[in-house]
């Protein structure tokens, strides 16, 4: 196909051959509710001809069908090129030759039998149902294996394999007939690990599940929060989502340039503010990467053949970088993409997608470790400790937001004094990050994330992780969600 593209006068061409295995298991009260086992195989081809980019794809794997993809892509490129305002250019990327890359994992989760998965989730569910005040248990497991072959006319050929997995256990409790109810779920993040993740490699599921009933019982009788201004210690199990929405999406350069305006909005962090926008306090250090071990966006080479690495987004609180693919990099004068092109299917065109966008932890030159979460809490006279993600809301420019969580604990005189309910924290992005006065050390650092970040028309989903430590924020606005519902 690449030879055919050269023969047709294309200045660039690439081909992806992919197999993606998606499995999903859902259970309720220990019984299977549904299962999905889906395998997608296909070929996608991009060509650049006369300044116009065209794409075509097929699920047919025979040589004749594959050969026609170049012609179809050229046709589409000619049609879209006529409507385009400027010729498409791609930032330079050297040839990387023939390379293979694999994520680190021991047991491909898609190769583990359904019976084994049902037995484990069923055992966890039954143990929870035997405890008070649990009335119902839902359990789910999403497993993915992705194999991708890529070749470009610039002499880069890659073969890459990665897996990811996300288990969720949620309990529901009732406080008597016609009384209150509450839910509590695990905070274990999705991870680019194998099935060994469920066996304790990377997260202590047994311990967290054992604690769910007591956390739920405390939630059922917890007092409602008094709205006002509070100091917050935000656990990484919650903070990752705030990073995703207020930094990750806001610093996608295609969004900042307006390419997502009709669908998912733009960004307050516009390109003219690069190097000058005060995003947060001086201790705020944010990087993008596609190389962090077990990161959901981690890969050796992106879907344009760009070798991945790490790059600065916010340094000392100032916006200094964006996430880029080759087209956006060339359009805005960057010498090179930072490897953020991804397609969620061989039948979809690659687009600029989010890297692992992470907040740095603290470190000290004298060799001492940065503060623990307990030490951050100990420094708060009156505040709230936030654990786990739940609902969220943010405006179309990524500037005003509201987040809730799984558990909220009152802090008095440096100690936790019990759970609160009906809590949401609300702020403007730059005000929130500007109020950050301390970040935890490496011991508090955790990779959170999501398997289903959405973008584009037609829509695509992408897995992405966000690493962060616990962090302390001063005088953040707290809403009582019960009062808000009645208002």
339 vs 300: CA distance, rounded Å: 9
The structure tokens listed for 85 are 């305002």
Write down the mean pLDDT value for the chain. 95
Enter the pTM of the model.
0.96
Same-domain check for residues 250 and 207: no
Same-domain check for residues 217 and 297: no
Same-domain check for residues 65 and 149: yes
Give the position of tokens 């970088």. Answer: 321
What confidence tens digit (pLDDT) does each residue in 11-44 have? Answer: 999 999 999 999 999 999 999 999 999 999 999 9
Same-domain check for residues 379 and 235: yes
Same-domain check for residues 153 and 297: no
Residues 6+ apart with CB under 8 A from 187: 208, 237, 387, 388, 389, 406
Same-domain check for residues 155 and 280: no
- For 252, phi then psi, to 5°, come to -75, 120
Banded pLDDT at 485 (limits 50, 70, 90): low
Q: Given 198, 221, 244, which residue is the final one in a domain? A: 221
46 vs 420: CA distance, rounded Å: 53
Q: CA nearest 218: which of 415, 420, 480, 411?
A: 420
Same-domain check for residues 58 and 127: yes
What confidence tens digit (pLDDT) does each residue in 387-445 have? Answer: 999 999 999 999 999 999 999 999 999 999 999 999 999 999 999 999 999 999 999 99
Length of the chain: 487
Same-domain check for residues 330 and 382: yes
The structure tokens listed for 475 are 């005088």
What confidence tens digit (pLDDT) does each residue in 130-167 have? Answer: 999 999 999 999 999 999 999 999 999 999 999 999 99
Tally of domains within the chain: 2
Q: What is the DSSP string of 245-286?
A: IIIITTTBHHHHTTTTTTTT---SS-GGGTTT-B-S-TT--E
What confidence tens digit (pLDDT) does each residue in 173-224 have? Answer: 998 666 789 999 999 999 999 999 999 999 999 999 999 999 999 999 999 9
Instruction: Give one word for 233, left, alpha or beta, with left for phi > 0 and alpha for psi -120 to 50.
Output: beta
Banded pLDDT at 365 (limits 50, 70, 90): very low
Asked whether the predicted pLDDT for residue 82 surpasses 90, the reply is: no
Q: Given 221, 241, 272, which residue is the final one in a domain? A: 221
Q: Given 161, 189, 221, which residue is the final one in a domain? A: 221
Asked whether the predicted pLDDT for residue 46 surpasses 70, the reply is: yes
Q: CA nearest 468: which of 434, 435, 451, 443?
A: 443
Asked whether the predicted pLDDT for residue 364 surpasses 70, the reply is: no
The structure tokens listed for 70 are 């170049």
Q: How far apart are the first and last CA of the chain?
A: 62
354 vs 453: CA distance, rounded Å: 9
Domain that holds residue 205: 2-221
- E-strand ranges in 50-177 read 52-58, 97-102, 134-152, 156-174
The structure tokens listed for 457 are 């028309």
- For 271, phi then psi, to 5°, come to -60, -30
Asked whether the predicted pLDDT for residue 98 surpasses 80, the reply is: yes
Give the position of tokens 């999705």. Answer: 190
Q: What is the DSSP string of 370-438?
A: PPPHHHHHHT-SEEEEEEEEEEEEE-TTS-EEEEEEEEEEEEETTEEEEEEBSEEEEEEHHHHHHTEEE
Asked whether the predicted pLDDT for residue 67 surpasses 80, the reply is: yes
304 vs 18: CA distance, rounded Å: 14
Instruction: Average the pLDDT over each of 60-69, 77-86, 246-255, 447-456 and give the range with the smallest value.
Output: 77-86
Interval 108-128 mean pLDDT: 98
Asked whether the predicted pLDDT for residue 344 surpasses 60, the reply is: yes
Same-domain check for residues 361 and 420: yes
Q: CA nearest 189: which of 469, 467, 471?
A: 467
The structure tokens listed for 115 are 């019976």
Same-domain check for residues 271 and 186: no
Same-domain check for residues 410 and 303: yes
Same-domain check for residues 311 and 453: yes
- Residue 202: CB atoms within 10 Å: 18
Q: Is residue 420 within 8 Å of 412, Cβ to Cβ? A: no
Instruction: Give one word for 305, left, alpha or beta, with left for phi > 0 and alpha for psi -120 to 50.
Output: left
Cis? peptide before 133, omega within 30° of 0: yes
Q: Is the dihedral of CA 197, 202, 205, 206 positive or negative?
A: positive
pLDDT at 362: 82
């Amino acid at each position: 196909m690449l030879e055919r593209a050269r023969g047709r006068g294309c200045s660039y061409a690439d081909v992806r051959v992919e197999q993606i295995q998606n499995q999903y298991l859902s259970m309720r009260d220990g019984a299977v509710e549904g299962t999905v086992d889906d395998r997608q195989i296909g070929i996608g081809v991009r060509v650049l001809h006369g300044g116009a980019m065209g794409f075509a794809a097929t699920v047919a794997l025979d040589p004749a069908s594959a050969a026609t993809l170049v012609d179809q892509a050229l046709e589409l490129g000619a049609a879209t090129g006529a409507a385009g305002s400027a010729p498409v250019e791609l930032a330079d990327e050297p040839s990387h030759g023939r390379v293979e890359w694999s994520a680190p994992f021991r047991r491909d989760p898609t190769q583990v039998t359904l019976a084994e998965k049902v037995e484990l989730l069923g055992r966890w569910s039954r143990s929870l149902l035997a405890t008070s005040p649990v009335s119902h248990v839902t359990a789910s497991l999403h497993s993915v294996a992705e194999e991708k072959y890529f070749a470009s006319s610039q002499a880069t050929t890659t073969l890459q394999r990665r897996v990811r997995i996300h288990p969720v256990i949620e309990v529901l409790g009732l406080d008597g007939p016609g009384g209150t109810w509450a839910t509590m779920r695990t905070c274990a993040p999705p991870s680019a690990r194998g099935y060994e993740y469920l066996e304790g490699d990377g997260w202590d599921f047994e311990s967290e599940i054992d604690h769910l009933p007591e956390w739920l019982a405390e939630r059922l009788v917890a007092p409602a929060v008094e709205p006002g201004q509070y100091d917050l210690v935000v656990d990484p199990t919650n903070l990752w989502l705030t990073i995703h929405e207020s930094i990750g999406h806001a610093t996608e350069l295609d969004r900042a340039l307006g390419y997502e305006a009709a669908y998912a909005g733009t960004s307050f962090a516009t390109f003219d503010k690069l190097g000058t926008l005060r995003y947060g306090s001086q201790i705020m250090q944010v990087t993008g990467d596609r190389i962090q071990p077990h990161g959901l966006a981690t890969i050796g080479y992106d879907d344009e053949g760009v070798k991945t690495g790490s790059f600065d987004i916010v340094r000392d609180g100032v916006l200094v970088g964006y996430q880029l693919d080759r087209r956006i990099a060339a359009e805005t004068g960057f010498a090179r993409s930072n490897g953020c092109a991804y397609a969620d299917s061989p039948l979809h065109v690659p687009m600029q997608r989010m890297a692992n966008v992470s907040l740095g932890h603290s470190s000290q030159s004298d060799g001492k470790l940065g503060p623990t979460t307990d030490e951050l809490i100990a420094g708060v006279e009156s505040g709230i400790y936030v654990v786990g993600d739940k609902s969220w809301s943010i405006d179309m420019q990524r500037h005003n937001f509201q987040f809730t969580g799984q558990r909220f604990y009152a802090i008095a005189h440096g100690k936790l004094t019990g759970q609160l309910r009906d809590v949401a924290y609300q702020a403007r992005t730059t005000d929130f990050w500007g109020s950050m006065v301390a970040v935890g050390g490496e011991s508090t650092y955790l990779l959170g994330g999501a398997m289903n970040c959405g973008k584009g028309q037609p829509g695509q989903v992408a897995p992405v992780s966000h690493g962060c430590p616990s962090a302390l924020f001063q005088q953040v606005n707290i809403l009582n969600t019960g009062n808000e519902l009645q208002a």
